[in-house]
């Protein structure tokens, strides 16, 4: 399917997997057409367990916010635009499903913020990452200042944002910005294969993993351990743990929802 602007298309490529493709030339600027397309795709994601986001454009995942649009609006409209972009990325980042960014080429500014909103990032060796907003007298405003430190640490995040430099795929993988590094041109295939693997597992358990890991950044260790214990108990009582345990004992594949 496609949104009315044609900037985003999506299709269910496997049981529980939705493939979302950005295709707004020349660089997938995250203007209103892409924002609306992302929201439309997520509206249609009911019943899917994994969403893969990729680009159809050579050399670009997404090159940032729509600067031309930003240059033509007043402060009130700028705030509305930022809220709309953050809203779409927050929906992608929500733990109701897993999301994977398949990155080839440039992922800059809002494009990197889009990738960081995903649960995981798979990148080709040609990928380049950066948050160059200080060159415009701005800061990353769609989650960049919050998500980047959680992925790479405070010092590395400051280095990337304060210098506005681009980070190559190898460095991005070594510092934890990228989760899987693959040959150029294979990121989409690798991300879809990973999505197939993830969709076969228990989504409630995966959601609990994400919540518990996120809690480790927000709580002291003793509180985090208690939170983990609550999550385990909930999965055993109301989740899919009984099916998983029964399948293991029966030596068969579990039948997760």
113 counts as catalytic: yes
Residue-level pLDDT at 257: 81
Residue-level pLDDT at 3: 62
Gap between the Cα atoms of 197 and 103, Å rounded: 19
Give the DSSP letter of residue 2.
Answer: B
Q: DSSP secondary structure string, 156-205?
A: HHHHHHHH---EEHHHHHHHTS-SEEE-TT-HHHHHHHHHHHHHTS-HHH
16, 37, 110, 141: the catalytic one is 110
Q: pLDDT below 50 — which residues of the chain?
A: none
Residue-level pLDDT at 71: 76
CATH of domain 8-199: 3.90.226.10
183 counts as catalytic: no
65 counts as catalytic: yes
> Tell me, which fold does domain 203-250 have in CATH?
Lyase 2-enoyl-coa Hydratase; Chain  A, domain 2 (1.10.12)
Q: Which of 5, 2, 49, 36 is nearest to 21 (CA)?
A: 2
Residue-range domain boundaries for the chain = 8-199, 203-250
93 counts as catalytic: no
């Amino acid at each position: 399917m496609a949104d009315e602007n044609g900037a985003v298309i999506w299709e269910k490529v496997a049981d529980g997997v939705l493939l979302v493709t950005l295709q707004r030339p020349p660089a997938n600027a995250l203007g209103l057409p892409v924002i609306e397309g992302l929201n439309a795709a997520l509206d249609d994601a009911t019943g899917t367990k994994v969403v893969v986001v990729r680009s159809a454009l050579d050399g670009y995942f997404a090159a940032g916010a729509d600067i031309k649009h930003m240059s033509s609006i007043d402060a009130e409209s700028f705030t509305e635009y930022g809220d709309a972009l953050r809203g779409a990325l927050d929906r992608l980042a929500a733990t109701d499903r897993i999301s994977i960014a398949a990155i080839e080429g440039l992922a800059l500014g809002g494009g990197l913020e889009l990738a960081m909103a995903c649960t995981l990032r798979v990148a080709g060796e040609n990928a380049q990452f950066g948050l160059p907003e200080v060159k415009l007298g701005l800061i990353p405003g769609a989650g960049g200042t919050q998500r980047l430190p959680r992925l790479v640490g405070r010092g590395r995040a400051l280095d990337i944002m304060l210098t506005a430099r681009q980070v190559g795929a190898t460095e991005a993988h070594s510092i934890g910005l990228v989760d899987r590094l693959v040959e150029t041109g294979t990121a989409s295939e690798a991300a879809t294969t990973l999505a197939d693997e993830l969709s076969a597992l228990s989504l409630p358990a995966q959601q609990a993993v994400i919540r518990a890991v996120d809690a480790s950044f927000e709580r002291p260790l003793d509180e985090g351990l208690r939170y983990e214990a609550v999550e385990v108990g909930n999965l055993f009582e109301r989740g899919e743990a009984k099916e998983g345990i029964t399948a293991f004992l029966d030596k068969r594949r579990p039948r997760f929802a």
